[in-house]
Amino acid sequence: MREKAVKNRRAIIIAAIIILLVIAYILAYLLRFAWDIPIFYIGKLKRTIPLVIMIKLVSLAYFGQLEGYLRYVSIRDVVGIFKALFLSALTMVLMEYFFLDNSFPTSVVGIDFVISLMLLSGQRLSLRLLREIYAPIVPKSRERALILGAGDKAERLYRELRQNPDLAYDLLGFIDSDARKIGVRIHAKKVLGTFTELPGLIESKGVTVLINTYDKLDQNQTAILTKMRAQFKCSIRNVPSAADYITGKISTKRIKEISIVDLLGRETVELDHKKIEAQFSGKRIMITGAGGSIGSELVRQIVRFNPEELLLLDKDETLLYEIETDLRETGVTVPLQVLIGDIRNSDRMDIFFSKFRPQVVLHSAAYKHVPLMEVHPHEAVQNNVFGTMNVLTAAQNNGVERFVMISTDKAVKSTNIMGATKRLAEMIMFKAFDQGAMKCMAVRFGNVLGSRGSVIPLFQRQIDRGGPVYITDPEIRRFFMSIPEAAQLVLQAGAMSRGGEIFILKMGEPVKIKNLAYRLIEFNGYIPEVDIDVQYTGLRPGEKLYEELLTDLEGAVTTNHEKIMVINKAEDRDAQFLEKALRIRDNLFDLSNAQIRYYLKDLVPDYAPQKETEAV
């Protein structure tokens, strides 16, 4: 049925074009001879009509003007009609000059060109105009909307929404960050103001939804939007980047509620795809901790670079099942091996590495929760230190070419067990690099927005319960990065490395946790300290007010990537370093918390524990 309808539509379009072209050709003769065509030329008119129509149809077909939907006609189509008619006019003149011996006057060709252009263009533009004026069926219930942005993306969105009457939007106008655009009309709708005028406009016009077309919002703009959400209960929706669409058109089906991560305004990461593909394409790649927030995103990102095989290692069967199912459902064709195992089990690591022979390892498996690791330092050492050692040993023994370790800003001047164990794991990895051909590198970054156990899911649960929201200290600040951004930069740094480096991802300015909590409360439509209470509990064991991504002594330098810095200098490690690191492996759980801290302090000189915390 659909194919028949398409054929019928095309036949009707071609028939209408033929009628208009015949009318244009006859009018050209009438105008040329002042509405009194000589008998001699009437004969020529009748004889040449079929030839002229055939030439024009061939030209129109060549420029794609005999098919398509009239509802989507644009200036580009008018240009296509112009080119086709110009080509046909040129063809007619040449044929008349060389072959037809004055079959039609040259002036008729020129007049015919102008009339044909007017009729064909007018037909298409008028049909679209009539459709836009009369076709929309206005839904009974419509959301009163403002579009944020007044650029090309906003204009395309407006047209798409205008042409989809089933979408219940009453578009009131545009908001733009550039005050010079105020008053400018886009398809009869004005740019009404800037972000600072939003409160008054929302209130006076009864706006219920804001549709954002910006790829990135700055901190001032996001603060205004979250306040508007809390004050006026209006929703905020996001249009994906136009770069996501092959056709360049905005899909109105993908206008979705904006997320708090979107409102924190992290910039899009620019990747050197060729360099990443050169390192990872066609390789067998193992990701430890593949079910975690960072590990699973690394998996999703790396499938784009055509690895030979992905080895997904985690001890959590549920998380592994979820990431495997997600990949299968999204059509990923890269061969997958789902490996359930614990990095603390050295025999299991040896089996996996000897059987599957990975060439690249992305090591993200680790315990990361600071307060819990203060209470359970033995587990932190066993997993983050000796677990990493097991993976490194298996990698060295089985020909791994490149080893990328995911580290943390808490490894710098650490005051907690988690940070100290990650720093010690870095040092052990670089000792392995000193001893063999495997290229080893670490990538450090701060907190990841939306990851399991991070503050946003925690605050959201507290808000959902009606509060209070608990913050340790009103002045505590943290670096933040989105999950996709962190994973992309890990791959970029891993591709850049020549071995022996610590890469540091630039996190931007640290965010005050109090401000983040207030923003999230407003995002949910509440007013902080009025609808949702905020309480301060004091710093937890091992927690600092501020985190550093690097120390002045480490000498980080810039790289070719604007968001990545690197520490290149080798560390001084004595010959007995590994022996010292291994000396408590067999009797780890016989030691007290204080002895664990002494062990870490001996190996990690800049570790400065705050206070003793008894184990459970």
- The one-character DSSP state at 528 is B
What's the predicted TM-score (pTM) here?
A: 0.63
Q: How much of the chain, in percent, has pLDDT values that exceed 70?
A: 82
pLDDT at 248: 38
For residue 225, the one-letter residue type is L
Average pLDDT over residues 375-380: 93
Per-residue pLDDT for 465 more than 60? Answer: yes
Cα distance between residue 78 and residue 84, in whole Å: 10
The two structure tokens encoding residue 389? 């050692």
Per-residue pLDDT for 616 more than 50? Answer: no
Q: What is the pLDDT of residues 140-192, one digit of tens each?
A: 457 888 889 888 888 888 877 776 656 667 888 899 988 888 888 887 788 99
Q: What is the pLDDT of residues 31-47, one digit of tens each?
A: 888 888 887 777 777 88
Could you give phi then psi for residue 288, rounded to 5 degrees? -85, 150
pLDDT at 437: 84
**How many H helices and E strands in the chain?**
21, 22
pLDDT at 552: 45
Q: Is residue 257 within 8 Å of residue 333, measured between CB atoms?
A: no
Per-residue pLDDT for 325 more than 70? Answer: yes
The two structure tokens encoding residue 65? 């003007």
Identified catalytic residue from 181, 410, 422, 563: 410
List the single range of 75-89, 244-258, 538-552 with lowest mean pLDDT: 244-258
Residues 6+ apart with CB under 8 A from 75: none
Domains and CATH numbers, the chain: 2-134 (no CATH), 143-258 (3.40.50.720), 278-447+481-507+551-603 (3.40.50.720)
Most confident of 138-152, 237-251, 295-309: 295-309
Average pLDDT over residues 584-591: 87
- How many C-beta atoms lie closer than 10 Å to residue 71's C-beta? 12
pLDDT at 344: 95
Cα distance between residue 73 and residue 61, in whole Å: 16
The two structure tokens encoding residue 409? 């800003």
Most confident of 132-146, 215-229, 326-340, 389-403: 389-403
User: What is the dihedral sign for C-alpha 280, 286, 289, 291?
Assistant: positive
Per-residue pLDDT for 585 more than 70? Answer: yes
Q: What is the pLDDT of residues 79-118, one digit of tens each?
A: 888 888 888 888 887 877 766 666 667 788 888 888 888 8
Q: Is 410 a catalytic residue?
A: yes
Average pLDDT over residues 378-386: 94
pLDDT at 159: 78
Average pLDDT over residues 201-212: 88
Residues 6+ apart with CB under 8 A from 389: 425, 428, 581, 582
Cα distance between residue 347 and residue 335, in whole Å: 25
pLDDT at 322: 92
Mean pLDDT of the chain: 80
Average pLDDT over residues 67-78: 62
pLDDT band (50, 70, 90) for residue 4: low
Q: How much of the chain, in percent, has pLDDT values that exceed 90?
A: 18
Q: What is the pLDDT of residues 476-485, one digit of tens each?
A: 887 777 788 7
User: What is the dihedral sign for C-alpha 552, 558, 562, 563?
Assistant: negative
3-class secondary structure, 34: coil
Closest-CA residue to 504 (of 384, 408, 418, 433)? 408
Cα distance between residue 133 and residue 143, in whole Å: 20
- How many C-beta atoms lie closer than 10 Å to residue 120's C-beta? 24
Cα distance between residue 178 and residue 185, in whole Å: 14
Cα distance between residue 149 and residue 215, in whole Å: 10
Average pLDDT over residues 338-351: 95
